[in-house]
Amino acid sequence: MQETHKVYRQKLEEVTSLQTACSSSIHRQKKTLRDLKHSLQRCKPRASPEEFALIQEISSQIKERQNAFFDMEAYLPKKNGYVLCRGGTHSRKADFLKRSQWFAYKDEYEKFKLYLTIILLLGAVACRFILHYRVTDEVFNFLLVWYYCTLTIRESILISNGSRYRATCENYLKHEMSLREKQATKADSAWC
């Protein structure tokens, strides 16, 4: 069993390095093709008919190459989309091939929780004692919902990679969200 696991880890390292090399190579090639396409567009207006035909042929080859790169990228890991990047996960992949990546992500997650908890605590104190406006209350409630949604996304990434957060954090978040919902309905009735 240990020997099989050792072989597995070696193959995993090879796959990771090949993915990285292939992704960077495709990125460089795509940049070169963009530059070439831009240069051809600048040359097109003043080209003779023979040169124009050659430019059209090169443009079609560029399109074919871009389609080939698109097909190759389908088998490579993708970067996170806009929602995950803006949801506090930055440009992390959702699956971690190395345990050190997982620990770094978990450490970043814990720092995120600490910093935002402090900020939200200060915001709660400010909304309670200083700012008695409905707008600030709604902004604060929006930040709380965003915070818990982000925590849910980050925890689901950790859970899918082997974390044992499931029972405690899911129950805590559900309980906390229901309390926030009750507070929001009470605030709405108080403002009417």
Does 89 have pLDDT greater than 50? Answer: no
In terms of domains, do 87 and 149 share one?
A: yes
Q: In angstroms, rounded to a whole number, what is the distance separating the alpha carbons of residues 132 and 155?
A: 34
Higher local confidence (pLDDT), 14 or 78: 14
Does 169 have pLDDT greater than 70? Answer: no
In terms of domains, do 99 and 182 share one?
A: yes
Total domain count, the chain: 2
In terms of domains, do 138 and 87 share one?
A: yes
Q: How confident is the model at residue 128 (pLDDT cuts 50, 70, 90)?
A: confident
Does 163 have pLDDT greater than 60? Answer: yes
98 neighbors 105 (Cβ within 8 angstroms): no
Q: What angle do CA 92, 22, 26 make, to 5 degrees?
A: 95
In terms of domains, do 52 and 95 share one?
A: no
In terms of domains, do 19 and 58 share one?
A: yes
In terms of domains, do 43 and 113 share one?
A: no
Higher local confidence (pLDDT), 88 or 154: 154
In terms of domains, do 19 and 95 share one?
A: no
Q: In angstroms, rounded to a whole number, what is the distance separating the alpha carbons of residues 157 and 112?
A: 15
In terms of domains, do 69 and 93 share one?
A: no
pLDDT in tens, 26-41: 889 999 989 988 888 8
In terms of domains, do 65 and 93 share one?
A: no
Higher local confidence (pLDDT), 18 or 158: 18
137 neighbors 123 (Cβ within 8 angstroms): no
Give the domain range for residue 24: 2-73
